[in-house]
Structure 1
Amino acid sequence: MTSRSSWPDKVLALLRAGNPAAAIAQIKVAPGVKDLRALEKAIATAGLAGRWRDVDAALADSVEALSAPRLHRSP
């Protein structure tokens, strides 16, 4: 059984405190897609979806980047 990550709650707290720049910085170094999806759900539940365009864009970009297969460079 896996425990729930506290990362989405921390990023949501940054947004509620009015610090979207710090939230975007955290989104860019997100632990994984699962945490990003949990953050999306938490933002929607809190009624904050669509409030910050930059946050929404960073969230979408990070989900896309972490969902895509890794590029491989040959040595």
Structure 2
Amino acid sequence: MALLRAGNAAAAVAQIRVAPTVRDLRALEKALAAAQMAGRWRDVDAAIAESVQALSAPRLHRSP
């Protein structure tokens, strides 16, 4: 949220891509909605959606 409030959407997207869990991403979505900032940045919304999908999908191959 701090990166988005500062206007640094590129850094926010980078942080979203390395989010550890779906729970963290859902919390970010809720925080954006509460701050009425949801939908302001298309790339941020897309990164959240892609990361949630990637973290929710079963892994076909896990590296050792």
**Smaller-chain TM-score bracket:** over 0.9
| Larger RCO (alpha carbons 8 Å, 6+ apart) | 2
User: Which residue does the alignment assign to 1:41?
Assistant: 30
- Partner in structure 2 of residue 21 of structure 1: 10
**Match among 34, 40, 62 for residue 51 of structure 2:** 62
SS at match of 2:36: coil
Structure 2: gaps of 5 or more residues: none
- Runs ≥4 residues deviating over 6 A: none
What count of residue pairs does the alignment treat as equivalent?
Answer: 62
Give the distance between the partners of 1:38 and 1:71, measured in 2 at CA.
27
Q: Give me the identity figure in percent.
A: 79
* Larger-gyration structure (1/2): 1
Summarize deviations over 1:49-69 as a string: whole Å, max 9, x none: 000000000000000000000
Q: CA RMSD in A?
A: 0.9
